Structure 1
Amino acid sequence: MHGSKIALMAGLALAGCASQPEILPFEIASVPAVLETSPMTGLGDRADDPAIWVNPDNAARSLILGTNKQEGLHVYDLQGAELQFLPVGQVNNVDVRGAVAVASNDETEALSWFAISRDEEPTVTHLGDTGVGKVEPYGVCLGEDEAGLIAAATYKDGTVQLWRAQTDAAGNISADLARTVKLETKLEGCVFDESQGLLFIGEEAFGIWSVEYANDEARPMVVDRIADSNGLVEDTEGLSIWWAEDGGYLVASAQAADRFVVYDRLPPHAPRGIFTITQSEDMTVDGVSHTDGLDVVADPLPGFPNGLLVVQDDANPKSEVDQNFKLVDWTNVQAALDLE
């Protein structure tokens, strides 16, 4: 089913005075979930952020990594079945580049590094941690350019640390602090766009920024503000990129509104649409609310010919009970928002 449009051009405001109508530049589309991961059994806020690893040898053996911010890192297959659990502590966000993953670990105040094997049955191995010298690394994202791997750690005080990573002959990873960027308030989601030399950052109560991460003199530039009424609300949470050489899209979670805002990846990063994720067509998978982290890839995967979007779901279906991640066919997002 192509995502149906919901006429919500003037709903109740979620980020301002409740008596003021919310005027949006788009109708809000609805897109169905397709699959879901095994639940993180128990009460409380657990699931937070997913990352998709595309297996270069066998796309069907690709993996979804998902943080459990109470206990560690879960690993799922593309059907949502749990394959592995790594009890590495209170990891909040996770990201992947190549065969390397990194997670922000509040318990160890570190970046936790992982290797992903390319065996017939891929596995994830914890390599060790890099202390960040700062309390509660909150968000994290990973990039790779000509200089190698680079990780960004975000913090609740508005700090962004940029870490350059090195791998030794034994496959161990270490990292050195290369740069610090400062914004005003609480940060979490981020994503690298290495082709533009940009790091996109979500400031939860403000909106989205970009910064030239390799240019020490570059200052953050506004991509979108909640106040601009393009669909963002507090909290601006997960960020990821559906990449195309001549275009592509930046996807952001507008948490309090249970919706997602899509922008052009390339400047001026124009907003392209807003959507919510509803229950699956067969009604076996519930809809999505209050999303924290998300990840999207453009690679064709089994069942997802134009890419896969994975998002955290706060309620499964009850709030903060058995939380998990929902899988969405990007083809349906394209159809719902008339994207290329």
Structure 2
Amino acid sequence: MRRTVALAAAVPLALTLALPATGAPSAGPSRPHAPAVVTTDNETPVLYDDDEGGNASGDDPAIWVHPKHSDRSIVIVTAKEGGLRVYDLDSRELQSLPGTPAPRADGVDGRYNNVDIAYGLRVGGRTVDVAVASDRYNDQLRFFTIDPAGSRAATPLREVTAPEQRFLFSPDRETVEEEQTAYGVAVWQPRKGETYAVVTREGATTVATARITPRADGTIAYTGVEHLEMPDSFPLPDGDTWVPCEEPGVGPQLEGVAVDQRSDVLYATQEDVGLWRIPLPLGSGDPRLIDEVADFGIHDVYDEETEECVPVDPDPPGLGGPNLVADAEGVDVYYGRGRVGYVIVSSQGDDRFAVYSTMGHNRPLGTFRVAGDGVDEINGSDGLAVTNRVVGDYREGLLVTHDEPETGPGVDPERDATNFSYVDWGQVADALGLQVSTDWGNDPRLR
């Protein structure tokens, strides 16, 4: 049964925090402190978003950690219309899966936007780990079992999506064609035997949860879809109301989502607004806006001729903080000792990454950017993934992030190029004075 969860009093509670750190309106967008700098020398092969490249546009990664042999771990990424790619820890491509039609009577070719990992599902009589991907063109989830051999497997992923799954946000195929469909995805595993997907909606403020339900025939379905409507307008300290400018018919969407499995908290980025903390299950508590993008509160109007949002005031005052510049995009959680942890967010608008504590009021801990060491630096990052587990030579954890445009050696500058880079978490921890712990992970078998 589909049930919509009301937001109740969440808006006033959340927006009391939508202010600069001083608690008063700023005179303009806050200037960020100089970010720390870390480096990467490991990046995946370039993807090209054109006919010759199979319309492959990188977006979001997930890291699967092998339970016994960490050097056999793999990185799974979405390439939108180009399907999925699987890489080893040296960023070599192991598998390319096309965006095949969804297994449904009205199925069309898939467009995989985001991906995450569900650990320890009982599928067809065996325990397996599963990659869960959002499919925008079919408004549903797609499921792929992960071969336990990891990077040594001939075919690391195999699709096991059950046929005729319901649409997540749309009443019918005609509505799906409008493409306000499944977008970001994160896996939530609150206890043994329970696994959920949290999904955001492109062009809208809706967040959904769905229970992942393996079947005896070896396929995986989902049931019990529930929705939460997040705010699309925001009261300001001067009594005015701010509505983020979008093209007509489009709301201020959320994309990046990650679950802190220790506290059952969802962290979600609303691209033109900021970073949210949302209790799970949906509706069990008030969402809270942790931090706002720099131009939060700036009134824009949409110019149909240029298809751009233009400020009403030529010198607009922004109320946002210094850590995020729209779009706020990818997000994930690094687990430290005890209750310590870190939320990492991609500040796409200025090529930085912001780090927040998972404790208390999620105070910001600093920002960093990623420079290249023999490869290009990270620009315009969309999705990201982080693990605190030992992963091959990454002894203190691994951060994998999207890079667009990819501008490294040998890249055709006339083509739309993307890829992903691997960053040693130890560098980030050293640069920002953060804790390192490899004991606790998002794999429920470790708890």
Q: TM-score, normalised by structure 1?
A: 0.88
The count of aligned residue pairs is: 318
Deviation at 1:330, TM superposition (A): 0.5
| Alignment of 1:235 onto 2:268 | no
Could you tell me which residue of structure 1 aligns to residue 194 of structure 2? 148
Could you tell me which residue of structure 2 aligns to residue 107 of structure 1? 137
SS of the equivalent of 1:292 reads: coil
Larger radius of gyration: 2
Deviation at 1:127, TM superposition (A): 1.0
SS of the equivalent of 1:291 reads: coil
Could you tell me which residue of structure 2 aligns to residue 8 of structure 1? none
Deviation at 1:168, TM superposition (A): 2.2
SS of the equivalent of 2:217 reads: coil
Deviation at 1:301, TM superposition (A): 1.5
Cα root mean square deviation, aligned? 2.0
SS of the equivalent of 2:426 reads: helix
Could you tell me which residue of structure 2 aligns to residue 162 of structure 1? 209
Output the CA distance in 2 between the equivalents of 1:142 and 1:96.
6
Residue pairs, 1:294-313, within 5 angstroms: 294-313=384-403
Structure 2: stretches of 5+ with no match in the other structure: 1-26, 100-109, 120-128, 171-175, 233-251, 294-318, 408-412, 436-447
Could you tell me which residue of structure 1 aligns to residue 428 of structure 2? 333
| Alignment of 1:96 onto 2:117 | yes
User: What is the CA deviation profile of residues 20-78 of structure 1, one whole-angstrom value per residue up to 9, with x for unaligned ones?
Assistant: 67423x43111111300111145477110000000112111101001011220111001
Could you tell me which residue of structure 2 aligns to residue 4 of structure 1? none
| Alignment of 1:29 onto 2:36 | yes
Deviation at 1:320, TM superposition (A): 6.0
User: What is the CA deviation profile of residues 256-315 of structure 1, one whole-angstrom value per residue up to 9, with x for unaligned ones?
Assistant: 1111000012221110110111111xx2x1111001100000001122111000000002
Which among 274, 284, 290 is matched to residue 380 of structure 2?
290
Which among 290, 297, 302 is matched to residue 223 of structure 1?
290
SS of the equivalent of 2:212 reads: strand
Moved more, 91-100 or 133-142: 133-142
Deviation at 1:133, TM superposition (A): 4.2
Output the CA distance in 2 between the equivalents of 1:142 and 1:320.
33
| Preserved CA contact (<8 Å) 1:45 1:314 | no
The one-letter code of the counterpart of 1:261 is A
Deviation at 1:174, TM superposition (A): 1.2
Output the CA distance in 1 between the equivalents of 2:378 and 2:42.
12
Q: TM-score, normalised by structure 2?
A: 0.68
Output the CA distance in 2 between the equivalents of 1:41 and 1:21.
35
Structure 1: stretches of 5+ with no match in the other structure: 1-18
Q: 1:83 to 1:242 in 2, by over 3 A?
A: same
Residue pairs, 1:117-136, within 5 angstroms: 117-119=147-149, 121-122=152-153, 123-128=156-161, 130=165, 131-134=167-170, 135=176, 136=181
Could you tell me which residue of structure 2 aligns to residue 84 of structure 1? 95
The one-letter code of the counterpart of 1:205 is D
Which among 27, 42, 60 is matched to residue 49 of structure 1?
60
| Preserved CA contact (<8 Å) 2:323 2:367 | yes
Could you tell me which residue of structure 2 aligns to residue 191 of structure 1? 258
| Preserved CA contact (<8 Å) 2:38 2:368 | yes
The one-letter code of the counterpart of 1:57 is K
The one-letter code of the counterpart of 1:49 is D
| Preserved CA contact (<8 Å) 2:78 2:84 | yes
**Percent of residue pairs identical:** 31
Q: 1:314 to 1:45 in 2, by over 3 A?
A: farther
Larger % of strand: which?
1
Could you tell me which residue of structure 1 aligns to residue 123 of structure 2? none
Output the CA distance in 2 between the equivalents of 1:45 and 1:257.
24
User: What is the CA deviation profile of residues 75-130 of structure 1, one whole-angstrom value per residue up to 9, with x for unaligned ones?
Assistant: 10011011011112210111112211111111222111111110362411111164
SS of the equivalent of 2:416 reads: strand
Moved more, 143-152 or 35-44: 35-44
| Preserved CA contact (<8 Å) 2:49 2:56 | no
